[in-house]
Structure 1
């Protein structure tokens, strides 16, 4: 191993101190920048100055770099440089990326081609359909804005990302349900972590809900989507965007707030592996706070007549998606029946939840979708609501 280039002292170099709370693309870019400086035989800084808004030109009025810490950077054999950053989603955020080590391997690349070739190493999620690294547009833009100015004309980089704990942690996510396998995805649409399990996220969702209910054209209908996938799918299903509110994980308080705001018909649209929690009476769906999906699925399957080894296999499956796919391979009608039972149970438990707060008058329907974003289950109320709301101008 070649001699390590030592970091500079960055105290006072840039305005604004490090506060944490960043998404994975920011940590990736910080490590990559430190690696690139080392590759250029230049000192690297513990706090890497990054432009976190790729649309803003560096040096523009009112813009300034943010300082993001990097743990290490050092040359390796065969022209490679290794840099390591450790993810920090910020205080009070329940996120599996906390303290996650992210390694970046960087070297010059010969021959023609794009200025940067990015490869997925161990623990990094790839798209099952293509084998390409699962990298968000924001992550690519961030690398472009912060690395490319340091690449000499005519030179090219090869960048490989490794997340040592990525494959294990990916088992706790729904990545595989949406075609991302082998590890954690390098995603994020902005620099700051969206605090989906934190109170400020609830306040934002409540504000959006009240805004919809106060609109002059409000007719008592609302669609709550769970997560970005539901937000993307709703308009494709013909659901008017003016009816849609992204709920995040705070479903219970939002159901009550919707009823109090005058919503008469509410449609829940969500991934089957997330929405099933409501069928078990779990109305805050962040995985750090409550899970129980295997137990809920097993109970509903037993009520549907499944038993013996098939029921045990269902309970032991790694995800709800995998469990239902296994049932479908053996008996598709039974799998379809089970999905309908899940959706119906979501509706029933939601009504019971509302009744506890004296809000029985609001109708709640549930529609489930699968990893391919195809509708796979609808409760009786959900079927009626989806048909009706698709026709709302």
Structure 2
């Protein structure tokens, strides 16, 4: 059994509630319910090992249906999922082909879906941890429908960047591992630095690195042709990671992230968690003023709810100016990153920037970013 060093991501709490619901479904069919078990033994997969995860309740709720309830505990630190109730309603369905998943996951109230398709937004890890833990319970020749409900999910989603990536109606079931990573905490920085050290120490390391900011960037990068072996996920401690990359011998580094996040670097803000520093509106309007925007138009830009909204509004009224401003943002990110590095030493490292938007489309590259993107997409040899 593994010992958790932090709280768990949302997929783990969903898996716990789902397993409890399926067990209650079996109890309901077998007659009088057995005593409720408040802990579910889950295989976490990432990291490997079994951990006891608490659930609040589980019981049959009608013929062929059962409900399992867990409550998110993300551990210490700020996290909007703290105390979030997770409801999973389980019911038997006709089995799928033998090689298919043993469950069908349906979005209920408060669960995020892709706006374009209506499909539930769930990471590969979320589905894998469900499959690993449900398969022994469901058994051969059976399958189960799981309807997921997050009663507070719709309201909480308004405090996230979900909508910026096309996810609507609630919280996305994302996460690539069991334990919560603290993007603003020192231990998250140490984990990133350790991963960087391991990457640069390998025999095949050629000096190239793509520093990806956030889960959405990590998912998008391969679709743009960026090789997986170059990708390193970074949290909010971008300044120290840049310096560590230079010290470790990285020669070409591409910053790849959402423009609403990376714009902070254009203002010299190298710790990007919003609890510690923001300034996005101020950086955006300063750069827009340098491009010639003034008066009421500049005030509207500053008042926009997000960087995405500000750029979209500007593009509607003056497309050419909006394009120039986006290029200036990307160029400023590169220039300020190089200036930041120069404060800590002399490193033969080129830094480029590639920014994507809420539609998960590549939006703009800086001069160096364009060169690095093409070089990394089409390596020699």
Q: TM-score, normalised by structure 1?
A: 0.79
Alpha-carbon spacing, 1:46–1:232, altered in 2? closer, same or farther (3 Å): closer
Question: Which range moves more in the overlay, 357-366 or 171-180?
Answer: 357-366
2:372 aligned counterpart, secondary structure: helix
- Show the counterpart of 1:198: 185
Q: Work out which of the residue numbers 264, 279, 297 in structure 2 matches 1:292.
A: 279
- Show the counterpart of 2:123: 136
TM-superposed deviation, 1:125: 0.4
- Show the counterpart of 1:9: none
Alpha-carbon spacing, 1:311–1:261, altered in 2? closer, same or farther (3 Å): same
- Given that residues 36 and 57 in structure 2 are in contact (C-alpha distance below 8 angstroms), is that contact kept between their aligned partners in structure 1? no
- Show the counterpart of 1:121: 108
- Given that residues 265 and 362 in structure 1 are in contact (C-alpha distance below 8 angstroms), is that contact kept between their aligned partners in structure 2? yes
Q: Work out which of the residue numbers 73, 80, 85 in structure 2 matches 1:101.
A: 85
1:117-136, Cα deviation, whole Å (9 max, x unpaired) = 43212221001221111122
User: Mapping of 1:346-357 within 5 angstroms?
Assistant: 346-357=333-344
- Show the counterpart of 2:150: 163
- Given that residues 336 and 376 in structure 1 are in contact (C-alpha distance below 8 angstroms), is that contact kept between their aligned partners in structure 2? no
Alpha-carbon spacing, 1:282–1:25, altered in 2? closer, same or farther (3 Å): same
- Counterpart CA distance in 2 for 1:239 and 1:38 is 45
Q: Work out which of the residue numbers 40, 45, 50 in structure 2 matches 1:53.
A: 45
Please provide the CA RMSD for this pair: 3.4
1:329-371, Cα deviation, whole Å (9 max, x unpaired) = 3332222222111111212221332233244764322121223
Q: Work out which of the residue numbers 33, 36, 40 in structure 1 matches 2:19.
A: 33
- Counterpart CA distance in 1 for 2:304 and 2:275 is 19
1:168 aligned counterpart, secondary structure: helix
- Show the counterpart of 2:55: 70
Question: Which range moves more in the overlay, 310-319 or 284-293?
Answer: 310-319
- Show the counterpart of 1:12: none
Which blocks of at least 5 consecutive residues in structure 2 are unaligned? none
- Show the counterpart of 2:10: 24
- Counterpart CA distance in 2 for 1:99 and 1:322 is 31
TM-superposed deviation, 1:67: 0.9
TM-superposed deviation, 1:233: 4.5
- Given that residues 279 and 349 in structure 1 are in contact (C-alpha distance below 8 angstroms), is that contact kept between their aligned partners in structure 2? yes
- Counterpart CA distance in 1 for 2:126 and 2:256 is 28
User: Mapping of 1:171-186 within 5 angstroms?
Assistant: 171-186=158-173
Alpha-carbon spacing, 1:367–1:147, altered in 2? closer, same or farther (3 Å): closer
1:328 aligned counterpart, secondary structure: helix
- Given that residues 258 and 356 in structure 2 are in contact (C-alpha distance below 8 angstroms), is that contact kept between their aligned partners in structure 1? yes
1:134-161, Cα deviation, whole Å (9 max, x unpaired) = 1223322333333344447776544322
- Given that residues 225 and 245 in structure 1 are in contact (C-alpha distance below 8 angstroms), is that contact kept between their aligned partners in structure 2? yes
1:42-61, Cα deviation, whole Å (9 max, x unpaired) = 332111122333999xxxxx
- Counterpart CA distance in 2 for 1:375 and 1:213 is 27
User: Mapping of 1:353-372 within 5 angstroms?
Assistant: 353-359=340-346, 362-372=349-359
Q: TM-score, normalised by structure 2?
A: 0.82
- Counterpart CA distance in 1 for 2:269 and 2:210 is 19
2:7 aligned counterpart, secondary structure: coil
1:289 aligned counterpart, secondary structure: coil
Instruction: Please say if 1:251 is aligned against 2:238.
Output: yes
- Counterpart CA distance in 1 for 2:46 and 2:95 is 26
Aligned length: 370
- Given that residues 46 and 178 in structure 2 are in contact (C-alpha distance below 8 angstroms), is that contact kept between their aligned partners in structure 1? no
- Show the counterpart of 1:85: 70
- Counterpart CA distance in 1 for 2:364 and 2:282 is 19
Instruction: Please say if 1:225 is aligned against 2:212.
Output: yes
User: Mapping of 1:311-326 within 5 angstroms?
Assistant: 311-326=298-313
- Counterpart CA distance in 1 for 2:174 and 2:276 is 23
1:200-238, Cα deviation, whole Å (9 max, x unpaired) = 432333234344545566665443222344345445545
- Counterpart CA distance in 2 for 1:350 and 1:99 is 38
- Counterpart CA distance in 1 for 2:159 and 2:47 is 33
- Counterpart CA distance in 2 for 1:78 and 1:294 is 55
- Show the counterpart of 1:328: 315
- Counterpart CA distance in 1 for 2:326 and 2:137 is 53
